[in-house]
Chains A and B, each alone.
Chain A
Amino acid sequence: MAEFLMPKLGADMTAGTLVAWRKKPGDAVRRGDVVAEVETEKGDIDVEIFTDGVIERLLIQAGEKVPVGTPLAVVREGGASAEPVVESTVPTAVPFAPAAAQPGAAAPSAAPRPTVSRSLAAGDISRLRISPAARRLARELSVDPSKLAGTGRGGAITLEDIQAAANARGVSVPAPAPIPLPPLSAVSAPKALPTPATDRFASMRQAIAAAMTRSKREIPHYYLSTTVDMHASMLWLADQNARRPVTERLLYGVLLLKAVALALREVPELNAVWDNGRAERKPDINVGVAISLRQGGLVAPALHNTDRLSLDELMAKFRDLVNRTRAGSLRSSELSDPTITVTSLGESGVETVFGVIYPPQVALVGFGKVVERPWSVAGQIVSRPLIVATLSGDHRVTDGHRGAVFLAAIARLLQEPAKL
């Protein structure tokens, strides 16, 4: 038997709210399957399991908030066929917890319903990809956003979708509602509306504050900087992109990420976490990418095995990761697995980043803006696109010399982009 625990999705997380189960007792699961959804300030996270087996029992109901490390379910290990498990303490159909339920709205009844049929669960409303403005408009126009198929990014419901729904209703008969839906008041009820955007941003701010305070209190940072000639990389990229359809083009950020990942193979002590007073090197290179959110805040989820992905694979995964991060739809491993973080603030116009390490990681790489500047090549002054790469290192784990070797490796790798 194994236990499926409330994961720690970030250095600062102490507890999480189970939003919904995706599996029920008797279901076979494989490593990497999404078993539950947990609400965090980074969105509702799809939590994966790391055991093959069969779900034996669910220990926690949707809507409950429990500390990190709390067993959520019992899993019988191995793929062996299970006798059907009849669970008595927790019904197969998990009604959402009273705390999350709105009286009268989709009242959890004794009637079982499939665990994953979440159309009426309070948790489901939180899964709606909808902006605060669109949510507001929906309320004003009495449109139930949970009935709409969003046309925005990641299926987000846009202002236009709401307007279109209201217009359609205005000129035609109301769309038949095969399933009774909770009254709209359920959507705006304090508890049933899980994390209005403002709350989420406030708690994300708190989480960032906690992590950064811990970093600056505990980690003796050292900082290094080097200027990298991006001439070869930018030429190669422009040439590639000129020959590619828009759907297959690369961003230069992908070259930076791959160069960082390959440089980590040369200086593996930077690919580590600080745990219980000692550094633990990580075998996999999972570069965390700092992604700013549209309405403030920051998440740095991992691109797994960055060093082993081709530039095309990396670009596809990077794009998907950014889109899902901004839509609030990440997987647990993406939040718990980064082994280093890369932040690129060039878009905002800054030239040099002095980064703060995200604990328990032991290094952070920063990139500034690509700028055209005079540069000396073989004794001649020429104009070159330059970028400043910086390393913030944990001095408990590495010294400046190894950090310098690492930055030099990044600079060298970016001179031969075709080999990345």
Chain B
Amino acid sequence: MTKDDVRAAVLRVLMRIAPEADPAQLKPDLSLREQLDIDSMDFLNFAIGLHEEFHVDVPEADYPKLLTIDGCVNYLVAAAENQGGISGDVPF
């Protein structure tokens, strides 16, 4: 799973939460909360979506690292390296 694959998967999860959004318009380094008007329930659904997609359980304390798309990708890639691969179907 390449970094681009991770990014695509993150966007896929995001689109389930904000189906009206156009992924091409999202800025990867800006806050998702602001770009997509995401509230805490949406964010929880996003974290659950990442859990389903990547089989990682992001601790609440790490939520701030997931506030941008770049942040999510970096976090998930790092988590994979630390754990010797995300325990998903497709290891890095």
Q: Which A residues contact B (CB, under 8 angstroms)?
A: 129-134, 151-153, 156-160, 238, 241-242, 245-247, 249, 251, 253, 292, 294-295, 318-319, 322-323, 347
Contact = CB atoms under 8 A, between A and B. Distances in A.
A241 B20 CA distance: 30
B49 to A, nearest CB: 9
Interface of B: 12, 15-23, 37, 39-41, 44-45, 47-48, 51, 57-61
A159 B41 contact: no
11 contacts: A130-B19, A131-B19, A152-B19, A153-B45, A241-B60, A242-B60, A245-B51, A249-B44, A292-B39, A323-B41, A347-B39
B18 A294 contact: yes
User: For the complex, would chain B's binding face be called helix, strand, loop or mixed by DSSP majority?
Assistant: helix
B15 A246 contact: no
Contacts of A133: 19-22
A251 to B, nearest CB: 5
A253 B37 CA distance: 18
Contact of B37 (A130, A131, A242, A294): A294
A249 B60 contact: yes
Given A159-B22, A249-B60, A251-B44, 7 more contacts: A134-B19, A153-B17, A160-B23, A246-B44, A246-B47, A251-B40, A253-B40
A152 B16 contact: yes
B41 A251 contact: yes
Given A246-B48, A247-B48, A249-B60, A156 B41 contact: no
Given A133-B22, A158-B16, A238 B48 contact: no
B7 to A, nearest CB: 14
Interface centre among A129, A294, A318 (most CB of B within 10 A): A294
B72 to A, nearest CB: 14
B20 A131 contact: yes
Contacts of B18: 294
B16 A246 contact: no
Contacts of B58: 246
Contact of B12 (A160, A247, A318, A319): A160
B19 A156 contact: yes
Contact of B61 (A242, A292, A294): A242
B41 A322 contact: yes
Contact of B20 (A238, A251, A292, A294): A294
Nearest to B58: A246
Nearest to B12: A160
Contacts of B41: 251, 253, 318-319, 322-323
A151 B20 contact: no
A127 to B, nearest CB: 15
Contacts of B45: 153, 319, 323
Contact of B57 (A153, A246, A253, A323): A246
